[in-house]
Amino acid sequence: MQADLYCNILEDTLIPFINKTFPNHRFMLDNDPKHTSRRAQVFFDEHGINWWQTPPESSDLNPIEDVWHELKLYLESRVKPRTKTELIAGIKKFWNKRMDRAKCGRYIDHVLQKAVPAVVVERGGATKY
């Protein structure tokens, strides 16, 4: 995905979601080139996105990785999609029925209370989290 498409997606989906749900947000990024591009950095500044870039190779500190993992397990075990339509329906059902503010908070708390201290102990290295 190129930075322009990434920024367009963020503008259409992230901005309205953040403004509605998490006005005092902290948006976490990894070191993917589309996230670190000049175009993306300008976009974040222009839209007032409070972003936090993680260290290289540190999925340990990104709670979205836990969400993707849960989504993947849900799709594999419950939905078992065989078509694109079934996949899309399964993803929508997951987001509407399985994800909420409280669960997002638990994922974030896990990172802050367990993963970050473990990464500090390992001096930036990988952990079991």
Residue length, the chain?
129
Joined tokens for residue 49? 């996105």
pLDDT(126) > 80: no
Half-sphere exposure of 55 (CA within 13 A, CB side): 10
The pLDDT score that the predictor gives to residue 60 is: 66
- Provide the pLDDT for residue 7: 92
The tens digit of pLDDT for each residue in 54-113 reads 666 665 677 888 899 999 999 999 999 999 999 999 999 999 999 998 999 999 999 889
Residue 80: predicted pLDDT: 97
DSSP 3-30: HHHHHHHIIIIIHHHHHHH-TT--EEE-
* pLDDT for residue 121: 85
The pair phi, psi for residue 82, each rounded to 5°, is -115, -10
Q: Which of 48, 71, 52, 49 is nearest to 62 (CA)?
A: 52
pLDDT tens per residue, range 7-65: 999 999 988 888 888 878 878 777 788 888 999 999 999 988 888 766 666 656 778 88
Compare 127 and 20 and report the one with higher pLDDT.
Answer: 20
